[in-house]
Structure 1
Amino acid sequence: MKKLNWGIVGAGRIAHQFAADMATVANSELYAVAARDETRAQAFAEQYQADVAYGDYQQLFNDENVDAVYIATPHNLHFEQAKAAMLAGKSVLCEKPITVSQQESEALFQIAKEQQVYLIEGMWTYFLPAIKQAQQWVEEGKIGKLLHVKADFGYPQVYSPDAREFDVDLAGGCVFEMGIYPIAIAQLFSSLSPDSIYATASFAPNGVEDDVSFIINYPDMTATLGTSFKCKLQNWAYIIGDKGYIAIPDFWRASQCYLYELDTQVDSFNDQRITIGFDYEINAVSDDILSGRLTSDIVTPNSSNTFQQLINQVKTYIK
């Protein structure tokens, strides 16, 4: 089997998780890693048996042996790094949020089209088997007519204006950091544009939002969503119809889901995986690229542009 040679940009927590799961994927191989600190990059490469370590991102982009690049740096760096990688002829999987504005997102997909390279936002949740099972139950009419999606994602974060999560200059705030997950799960179950958005928020001392509750009214259903740096939320998603509902524990990294008719559980699913779950995304994206496709059918350019539109609407509402 032909393997795709990956380069990873960034050596933080998510990059480590991504690299660990890549080792289980048959059509992918970690070839290179780049970080601002070359010593850190070398340690990362040694840990995950990558061939090359760079202390400069552009060197990785220019490496002719790199087929695809995974970008796992702070949000505000995504646009320039993804652009540079694509201009160097590389396919790109960019961690979510792909950018910090709809204009940037649209510009990136236009560059990908012009360069004829693959570009996808790393909404790994969409690739998880439990999420696909939930979609199948909805499509089969198991819960009847879809009426509500309820989802939240929050973990307490110790406030520091210099921490990446709160840093104004790094697009800090809980909506970009965590809120994109509830927004994405709601959008997954409605392909329609929202009619209206209502939101309420509290703010950290430096002005970034640290707790947000919001309602998105779609023509076909209502999404009640939340995100927080102040507390751990339940972090479940509920997909609710007029005949039943689906409960998805820890939906952003879902490994299981449950189907209910009123109060009775009638079906369940557990993928019993031993990985974190990035391997499903890695395998699908690598297969797309090896097959010559330029976009994903799962996380489409329109999906990413819509995420940015909704995030902007929420952040505008709470200002």
Structure 2
Amino acid sequence: MKQLNWGIIGAGRIAQQFAADIALVDNAHLYAIAARELSRAQAFADDYQAEQAYGSYEQLLDDPKLDAVYIATPHNLHFEQAKAAILGGKSVLCEKPFTVSPLEAQTLFELAQREQVYLMEGMWTYFLPAIQKAKAWVEQGRIGKLRHIKADFGYPIEYHPRRREYDVNLAGGALFEMGIYPIALTHLFCKQAPQSLQVDSTLAQNGVEDDVCSLQRFGDVKATLGTSFKCRLGNKAYLIGEQGYIVIPDFFRASECALYQIDECLEEFSEPHQGHGFEYEIAAVTDEIQQGKLTCAVVTPEDTVAFQQRIAEMRALCLC
């Protein structure tokens, strides 16, 4: 099987997980890593058996053997880095959140279309078998008509104004950092703009949102979403229909889900990840790139722009 040569921009925790999971995929090869310091890139390359290490992102993008790049830097850097990769003719998988505004997202997709290169947001949750199973149960009518979605994602993060998660200059805030997950899960089942959107939030000392609850209505479906830097939330998702419900523990990295009718568990699904869970996304995206596609069928450009629009709307209400 022909392997696609991947490069990674950034050498942090997520980049390390992605690199480890490439080894589990037959059609992808970790070819290169770029970091701001060559020593850090070289250490990363040694740990994950990458062929090349670069001390600048420009050097990586100039490598003619590189086919695709995974951007794993803080989200405030995504726009310029994805733009450079696209203009360099490289296929791009950019970690979520994709950008920090709907306009930036739309601009990148238009540029990728013009340059005829693949571009996708790394919403890896959509590819997880447990999420796909829950989606299939809903589509098969196993819970009847969908009425409620409940999803939250939160972990306590100590406040410091220059900490990345809080830093105003780095597009800090709970919605970009964690809230993207419940927003994306809701969109998977309600592919439309909400008819109504309410937000209750608190702000950190520097003005970024650190705890957010939201009630949104999509026709007959109500979504109750939460995200927080203040406390560990349940981090579960519930899809509730007129005849039953589905529960997905740790839905953002789901490996299991269960189908209930009232109080009776009718079916359980479990598929532990071989790695961190990125392997499903890597295999699918690599296959699409090799087929010559320009966008992803699972996480479409329209999906990504919708995520950005929800975050923008919710952040605006947090400041009211």
**TM-score of the pair, normalised by structure 2:** 0.99
How far apart, CA to CA, are the structure 1 residues paired with 2:216 and 2:272? 33
Superposition map of 1:50-129 within 5 A: 50-129=50-129
Task: Determine the structure 2 residue equivalent to 1:292.
Answer: 292
Cα displacement (A) at 1:272: 2.6
Contact 1:148/1:222, CA 8 A, preserved across alignment: yes
Contact 2:33/2:60, CA 8 A, preserved across alignment: yes
Q: Report the 3-state secondary structure (helix = DSSP H, G, I; strand = E; otherwise coil) of the residue aligned with 1:295.
A: coil
- In structure 1, give the amino acid aligned to 2:198: Y
How far apart, CA to CA, are the structure 1 residues paired with 2:35 and 2:201? 35
Q: Report the 3-state secondary structure (helix = DSSP H, G, I; strand = E; otherwise coil) of the residue aligned with 1:93.
A: strand
Task: Determine the structure 2 residue equivalent to 1:201.
Answer: 201
Contact 2:102/2:308, CA 8 A, preserved across alignment: yes
Cα displacement (A) at 1:163: 1.0
Please tell me whether residue 21 in structure 1 is matched to residue 21 in structure 2.
yes
Range moving further from structure 2, 298-307 or 265-274: 265-274
Task: Determine the structure 1 residue equivalent to 2:183.
Answer: 183
In percent, how many aligned pairs have the same letter?
60
Task: Determine the structure 1 residue equivalent to 2:237.
Answer: 237
Per-residue deviation, residues 88-112 of structure 1 (Å, max 9, x unmatched) = 0000000001100000000000000
How far apart, CA to CA, are the structure 1 residues paired with 2:216 and 2:248? 20
Contact 1:190/1:220, CA 8 A, preserved across alignment: no
Contact 2:166/2:173, CA 8 A, preserved across alignment: yes
Runs of 4+ in 1 over 6 A off after TM superposition: none
Contact 1:203/1:210, CA 8 A, preserved across alignment: yes
Range moving further from structure 2, 271-280 or 96-105: 271-280
- In structure 2, give the amino acid aligned to 1:261: Q
Cα displacement (A) at 1:220: 3.3
Contact 1:193/1:218, CA 8 A, preserved across alignment: yes
Per-residue deviation, residues 38-85 of structure 1 (Å, max 9, x unmatched) = 111110000000011111101111111110000000111000000000
Contact 1:192/1:219, CA 8 A, preserved across alignment: no
- In structure 1, give the amino acid aligned to 2:89: G
How far apart, CA to CA, are the structure 1 residues paired with 2:265 and 2:167? 43
Q: Report the 3-state secondary structure (helix = DSSP H, G, I; strand = E; otherwise coil) of the residue aligned with 1:172.
A: coil
Cα displacement (A) at 1:192: 2.1
Task: Determine the structure 2 residue equivalent to 1:5.
Answer: 5
Give the count of matched residue pairs.
Answer: 319
Cα displacement (A) at 1:117: 0.2
Task: Determine the structure 1 residue equivalent to 2:156.
Answer: 156
- In structure 2, give the amino acid aligned to 1:197: L
Q: Report the 3-state secondary structure (helix = DSSP H, G, I; strand = E; otherwise coil) of the residue aligned with 2:199.
A: strand
How far apart, CA to CA, are the structure 1 residues paired with 2:113 and 2:228? 36
- In structure 2, give the amino acid aligned to 1:150: K
Cα displacement (A) at 1:269: 0.3
- In structure 2, give the amino acid aligned to 1:29: H
Task: Determine the structure 1 residue equivalent to 2:265.
Answer: 265
Q: Report the 3-state secondary structure (helix = DSSP H, G, I; strand = E; otherwise coil) of the residue aligned with 1:89.
A: coil
- In structure 2, give the amino acid aligned to 1:212: V
How far apart, CA to CA, are the structure 2 residues paired with 1:41 and 1:206? 33
RMSD across aligned C-alpha pairs, in angstroms? Answer: 0.6
Range moving further from structure 2, 144-153 or 271-280: 271-280
